[in-house]
Amino acid sequence: MTSPAGERKELPIRRDDDVVRVRQLVRSYAQQAKLSLVDQTKLVTATSELARNTLTYGGGGVADVEIVADTRRRGVRASFIDEGPGIADVELAFTDGWTSGKGLGLGLSGARRLVDEFNLTTEVGRGTTVTVTKWGR
Protein backbone atom coordinates (compact mmCIF):
# COMPACT_ATOMS: atom_id res chain seq x y z
CA MET A 1 0.00 0.00 0.00
CA THR A 2 2.80 2.49 0.70
CA SER A 3 5.99 1.98 -1.22
CA PRO A 4 9.20 2.56 0.71
CA ALA A 5 10.65 5.43 -1.33
CA GLY A 6 7.37 7.35 -1.09
CA GLU A 7 7.21 7.27 -4.84
CA ARG A 8 3.61 6.32 -5.05
CA LYS A 9 0.69 7.64 -3.12
CA GLU A 10 -3.05 7.53 -3.22
CA LEU A 11 -5.02 10.54 -2.04
CA PRO A 12 -8.76 10.88 -1.56
CA ILE A 13 -10.62 13.57 -3.50
CA ARG A 14 -13.65 14.42 -1.44
CA ARG A 15 -13.40 18.09 -0.71
CA ASP A 16 -12.07 21.30 -2.17
CA ASP A 17 -8.83 21.24 -0.22
CA ASP A 18 -8.11 17.68 -1.38
CA VAL A 19 -7.57 19.17 -4.85
CA VAL A 20 -4.88 21.42 -3.39
CA ARG A 21 -3.29 18.44 -1.67
CA VAL A 22 -3.20 16.46 -4.93
CA ARG A 23 -1.60 19.42 -6.64
CA GLN A 24 1.08 19.71 -3.95
CA LEU A 25 1.88 15.99 -4.17
CA VAL A 26 2.15 16.14 -7.97
CA ARG A 27 4.45 19.16 -7.75
CA SER A 28 6.72 17.45 -5.26
CA TYR A 29 6.93 14.27 -7.39
CA ALA A 30 7.54 16.36 -10.50
CA GLN A 31 10.45 18.04 -8.74
CA GLN A 32 11.83 14.66 -7.62
CA ALA A 33 11.56 13.38 -11.19
CA LYS A 34 13.49 16.48 -12.31
CA LEU A 35 10.86 17.88 -14.63
CA SER A 36 11.58 21.39 -15.88
CA LEU A 37 9.68 24.25 -14.28
CA VAL A 38 7.48 24.60 -17.36
CA ASP A 39 6.68 20.88 -17.38
CA GLN A 40 6.03 20.88 -13.65
CA THR A 41 3.58 23.73 -14.04
CA LYS A 42 1.85 22.09 -17.00
CA LEU A 43 1.47 18.80 -15.15
CA VAL A 44 0.31 20.41 -11.92
CA THR A 45 -2.27 22.42 -13.84
CA ALA A 46 -3.49 19.38 -15.80
CA THR A 47 -3.90 17.35 -12.62
CA SER A 48 -5.66 20.24 -10.97
CA GLU A 49 -8.22 20.16 -13.79
CA LEU A 50 -8.69 16.40 -13.55
CA ALA A 51 -8.93 16.32 -9.76
CA ARG A 52 -11.49 19.10 -9.94
CA ASN A 53 -13.55 17.12 -12.46
CA THR A 54 -13.36 14.02 -10.24
CA LEU A 55 -14.77 16.10 -7.41
CA THR A 56 -17.35 18.13 -9.33
CA TYR A 57 -18.63 15.63 -11.88
CA GLY A 58 -17.47 12.26 -10.56
CA GLY A 59 -18.83 12.91 -7.07
CA GLY A 60 -15.38 12.39 -5.55
CA GLY A 61 -12.84 9.62 -5.92
CA VAL A 62 -9.14 9.08 -5.57
CA ALA A 63 -5.90 10.25 -7.15
CA ASP A 64 -3.12 7.72 -7.57
CA VAL A 65 0.19 9.48 -8.20
CA GLU A 66 3.56 7.85 -8.87
CA ILE A 67 7.01 8.49 -10.18
CA VAL A 68 7.65 6.30 -13.22
CA ALA A 69 10.78 5.51 -15.16
CA ASP A 70 11.74 3.91 -18.43
CA THR A 71 15.23 3.24 -19.69
CA ARG A 72 15.97 6.86 -20.55
CA ARG A 73 14.02 9.13 -18.29
CA ARG A 74 11.77 9.63 -15.32
CA GLY A 75 8.32 11.06 -15.19
CA VAL A 76 5.16 11.39 -13.16
CA ARG A 77 1.95 9.51 -13.76
CA ALA A 78 -1.33 10.38 -12.13
CA SER A 79 -4.67 8.60 -12.31
CA PHE A 80 -7.99 10.06 -11.30
CA ILE A 81 -10.59 7.49 -10.51
CA ASP A 82 -14.24 7.99 -9.71
CA GLU A 83 -17.34 5.85 -9.60
CA GLY A 84 -19.60 8.65 -10.73
CA PRO A 85 -22.02 8.94 -13.64
CA GLY A 86 -19.42 8.49 -16.39
CA ILE A 87 -19.32 10.55 -19.59
CA ALA A 88 -21.99 9.77 -22.16
CA ASP A 89 -20.49 11.71 -25.07
CA VAL A 90 -16.72 11.74 -24.78
CA GLU A 91 -16.17 13.68 -27.98
CA LEU A 92 -18.45 16.42 -26.75
CA ALA A 93 -16.69 16.49 -23.38
CA PHE A 94 -13.39 17.08 -25.21
CA THR A 95 -14.80 19.96 -27.21
CA ASP A 96 -13.08 23.23 -26.26
CA GLY A 97 -15.54 25.38 -24.40
CA TRP A 98 -18.18 22.74 -23.78
CA THR A 99 -19.29 22.33 -20.19
CA SER A 100 -22.27 20.61 -18.62
CA GLY A 101 -21.74 22.80 -15.58
CA LYS A 102 -20.52 26.35 -15.17
CA GLY A 103 -16.87 25.88 -16.07
CA LEU A 104 -14.85 27.17 -18.99
CA GLY A 105 -15.09 23.74 -20.65
CA LEU A 106 -11.33 23.63 -21.17
CA GLY A 107 -10.29 21.22 -18.44
CA LEU A 108 -10.30 17.90 -20.30
CA SER A 109 -9.12 19.18 -23.66
CA GLY A 110 -6.59 21.51 -22.02
CA ALA A 111 -5.21 18.82 -19.74
CA ARG A 112 -4.72 16.56 -22.75
CA ARG A 113 -2.68 19.26 -24.47
CA LEU A 114 -0.50 19.81 -21.40
CA VAL A 115 0.72 16.23 -20.89
CA ASP A 116 2.65 13.63 -22.90
CA GLU A 117 0.26 10.71 -22.45
CA PHE A 118 -3.44 10.91 -21.82
CA ASN A 119 -5.87 8.09 -21.41
CA LEU A 120 -9.55 8.26 -20.54
CA THR A 121 -11.87 5.34 -19.90
CA THR A 122 -15.44 5.91 -18.92
CA GLU A 123 -18.64 3.99 -18.66
CA VAL A 124 -22.03 5.52 -18.11
CA GLY A 125 -23.28 4.68 -14.65
CA ARG A 126 -19.94 3.17 -13.68
CA GLY A 127 -17.41 5.95 -13.48
CA THR A 128 -14.44 7.56 -15.12
CA THR A 129 -10.69 7.04 -14.95
CA VAL A 130 -8.23 9.46 -16.48
CA THR A 131 -4.50 8.72 -16.48
CA VAL A 132 -1.89 11.24 -17.52
CA THR A 133 1.90 11.06 -17.74
CA LYS A 134 4.50 13.74 -18.15
CA TRP A 135 8.11 12.77 -18.88
CA GLY A 136 11.31 14.60 -18.10
CA ARG A 137 13.34 15.63 -21.12
Partner 1 sequence: MTNPTQGDQLADLLRGDADELIRRWVGLAASSLRGRMTEAELDRELREFFAVLVDALSTGSRDIKDDAYADARVLLEELSRTRARLGFSPSETAVGVFALKRAVFELIERRGNDGFREVIALSSLLDDLGLWTFEFYSRTREEIITEQSEQLLELTTPVVKLWDGVLAVPLVGTLDSARTQVVMEKLLEALVESGAEQAIIDITGVLAVDTQVAQHLLKTVMAARLMGAECTISGIRPQIAQTIVGLGIEFGDITTKASLADALLHALRRAGVDVVRRRNQAV
- The 3-state DSSP class for residue 57 equals coil
Alpha-carbon gap, residue 75 to 80, rounded angstroms: 17
Residues 6+ apart with CB under 8 A from 130: 50, 53, 79, 80, 108, 111, 118, 119, 120
Q: What share of the chain is helix, strand, coil (3-state, %, to 5)?
A: 35, 30, 35
| Residue 28: CB minimum distance to partner 1, A | 12
Q: Is 127 in the site for partner 1 (CB under 8 A)?
A: no
Q: Is 4 in the site for ligand ADP (CB under 6 A)?
A: no
Site for ligand ADP in 77-116 (CB under 6 A): 82, 84-85, 87, 93, 99-101, 103-109
Q: What are the two backbone dihedrals, phi and then psi, of residue 103, each rounded to the nearest 5 degrees? A: -85, -170
Site for partner 1 in 8-47 (CB under 8 A): 12, 14, 16-17, 19-20, 23-24, 27, 37-38, 40-42, 44-45
Alpha carbon distances (Å) from 37 to 32, 44, 96, 131: 12, 10, 26, 21
Contact footprint for partner 1 (CB under 8 A): 1-2, 12, 14, 16-17, 19-20, 23-24, 27, 37-38, 40-42, 44-45, 48-49, 52, 96, 103-104, 106-107, 109-111, 113-114
Contact footprint for ligand ADP (CB under 6 A): 49, 53-54, 57-58, 82, 84-85, 87, 93, 99-101, 103-109, 128
